[in-house]
Amino acid sequence: MVAGIELGKEYVQICVKTEGMKEPESVTKVAGCEHYRIPTEGNLEERSELQELFHRLWRMITPYAGKESLEYLVFCLENNSEKMRALLLDIAQIYNISVDKIRFMDKAECFSAYVLHQSAELLAHNSLLIENHGGEKTKFLLHKRARTAPVVTEVRNISEKSLEGAFADHAISSVFLVGDDFEEEWMQQNLKLLKTGRRVFAGKNLYVKGACYQGVDLKDGVETCLYLGAEKVCCNIALKAESEGRIEYVPMVEGGKNWYESNRAVEVLLLDEPELEFAIIPINGKEKKTVLVGLKDLPARPKKTTRLRVELEFSDPTHAKLMIKDLGFGELFPQSDMIYEGELQWEQ
C-alpha cells in the first residue's frame, strides 16, 4: 500500500492505493460521504499538536492496509520547510515508518504528478491550474518538454497574467480548477474562455492524489517524469576519475532530486595532478560547466597513492558545500591534515 497526505494550514487530506485498487482513492472522514477535507487544528509547527494530528490520520489509513505493508508515504506540504520535514520524520519513527519510505513534495510537483497520470491528451500542450483560496486565484502553468526521456516537466506561477493573457501566451490543452468553490459570477464570465478547445476539470483532491501517484511510481520503480521545481537540483554533478582503467566522469549527484536529499560522499584515488575536476551538467540543456579544484597542500606521492574523501552538502538547490579530505594510502602514506573547503554553485 502507498498513501499520500496533503498537509495544509487549514485542512488535511488523505489518499491511498492498495493492490486491489485500480486508482488511488481519497479517504473520507465520514463513511458514505465525500468529506475528504479534515480541518487542521492547532499549530502544526508544534510537535505535540502535529503528532496528535498524525495519530488521527494514521488511524484512518491503517484500515486500508489489511495484510499489506506501507511501502511509501508521500507528503504534499503547503509549508515544505526543513523544520516541518524534520518533525514529520521524527514522528513517523514512532509508528515504525522507515525514513526511506517517506517523500516530501510541494503542491506544484503534486500537480505535475497528477496530470502525468491522466490521459495523454490532457498534456498534449500545457496544462493550467487555477487554485481558488478565499476568492484569491493563483495560476500555475505545467509545461512538458518534448523529445526528452524521461519526460521533463516544469510548473511556473503565472498569477501575474490575466486568464486571457495566459491563453494568448501559451498553448493550453487542459484546465484544472482546485480549491474553494469558484464564484458563480466568475464562472459565468470565464466558462466559455476556459472550455474553448480545452478540457476543464474541477475538484478538491488533486494535490493529494498526485502525491499518491508519486508513491505508486516509487513503489513500482517507475520514473514517469523528471520534474524541475523550486526544491530540485537542476543539474547532474559528476567527478572525473578512473574506473576500471578508463578515465570517465563518475556521477555524484543526480539532477531532478530534492536538494535536501542530494548530499553525497565518495572516496576516490587521485590521478596525476593535485586537483579534482567536476562537471556540472544542466538538465535543461544549458551549457555544461567544468570546475577545477586545486589541492596545493597535498603531500607529494606516487600516482594512485592518495585516497580522498569528497563530500557535497547542499544548502539550497543551487549551492553545495564541498569538502575534500586527504585519507592517505594505508601505512605506506599516512593521511595528512589537508582539508579543502569550498563551494560548487550553478544557475537554477
pLDDT tens, position by position, 181-203: 888 899 999 989 998 889 999 98
- The answer to whether residues 138 and 213 belong to one domain is no
Q: Could you give the angle at which helices 206-220 and 107-116 cross, rounded to 10 degrees?
A: 70
CATH number for the domain spanning 145: value is: 3.30.420
**Residue 114 maps to a domain:** no
Q: Please tell me whether residues 213 and 93 are part of one structural domain.
A: yes
Residue 228 lies in a domain: no
Please indicate, yes or no, if residue 229 is contained in any of the structural domains: no
Mean of pLDDT values over 119-135: 90
Closest C-alpha among 303, 294, 300, 310 to residue 271: 303
pLDDT, residue 148, reads 65
Domain of residue 61: give its range: 2-109+208-221
* Prediction pTM value: 0.86
CA distances from 210 to 56, 205, 246 (A): 22, 9, 43
Residue 123's φ and ψ, nearest 5 degrees, are -120, 35
CATH of the domain at 294: 2.60.34
Question: Pairing relation of β-strands 2-7 and 235-243?
Answer: unpaired
Residue 333 domain-assigned (yes or no): yes
Per the structure block, which three cell numbers stand in for 294?
586545486
Confidence category of residue 135, pLDDT binned at 50, 70, 90: confident
- The pLDDT assigned to 34 comes to 63
What pLDDT, on the 0 to 100 scale, is given for residue 230?
A: 87
- State how far the Cα of 190 lies from the Cα of 210, in Å rounded to an integer: 26
pLDDT in tens, 49-71: 999 999 999 999 999 888 889 99
pLDDT at 304: 82
Question: Worst-scoring range by mean pLDDT, 94-103, 124-133, 301-310?
Answer: 301-310
- Domain-embedded: residue 227: no
Q: Name the pLDDT band for 271 (thresholds 50, 70, 90).
A: confident
Is residue 166 in a domain? yes
Work out the angle at residue 244's Cα, subtended by the Cα atoms of residues 238 and 248, and round it to the nearest 5 degrees: 25
Asked if 240 and 278 touch (Cβ cutoff 8 Å), the reply is yes
Q: Is 306 exposed, middle or buried (0-12, 13-18, 19+ CB in 10 A)?
A: buried
**Residues 99, 154: one domain?**
no
Q: Which regions of 134-171 does DSSP assign to beta strands (E)?
A: 136-145, 151-157
Asked if 283 contacts 234 with a C-beta cutoff of 8 angstroms, the reply is yes
Whether 188 is covered by a domain: the verdict is: yes
Q: Give the pLDDT mean for 239-244.
A: 78
Is residue 66 located within the same domain as residue 184? no
Distance, CA of 46 to chain centre = 24
Task: Give 149's pLDDT tier (boundaries 50, 70, 90).
Answer: low
Domain count, the chain: 3
Q: What is the pLDDT of residue 129?
A: 97
Residues 155 and 265 in one domain: no
The verdict on whether omega for the bond into residue 334 sits within 30 degrees of 0, i.e. cis, is: no
What is the DSSP track for 85-97? HHHHHHHHHHTT-
| pLDDT at position 287 over 90 | no
Q: What percent of the chain has pLDDT over 70?
A: 96
Q: In this structure, are 153 and 290 located in the same domain?
A: no
Mean pLDDT (whole number) for 200-226 = 92
State the pLDDT at residue 2: 97
Question: What type of residue is 180?
Answer: D
pLDDT, one tens digit per residue, over 11-43 is 999 999 999 999 999 998 765 566 788 888 888
Q: What is the mean pLDDT of residues 290-300?
A: 91
Q: Within 13 Å and on the Cβ side, how many CA atoms surround 185? A: 1
Instruction: Provide DSSP, 44-65.
Output: TTSHHHHHHHHHHHHHHHHHHH
Residues 191 and 323 in one domain: no
Average pLDDT over residues 293-297: 90
Q: What is the mean pLDDT of residues 205-212?
A: 96
CA distances to 8, 180, 322 from 38, rounded to whole Å, are: 10, 14, 44
Q: Please check whether residues 76 and 215 belong to one and the same domain.
A: yes
Is residue 91 domain-shared with residue 216, that is, in the same domain?
A: yes
Confidence of residue 218 (pLDDT cuts 50, 70, 90): very high
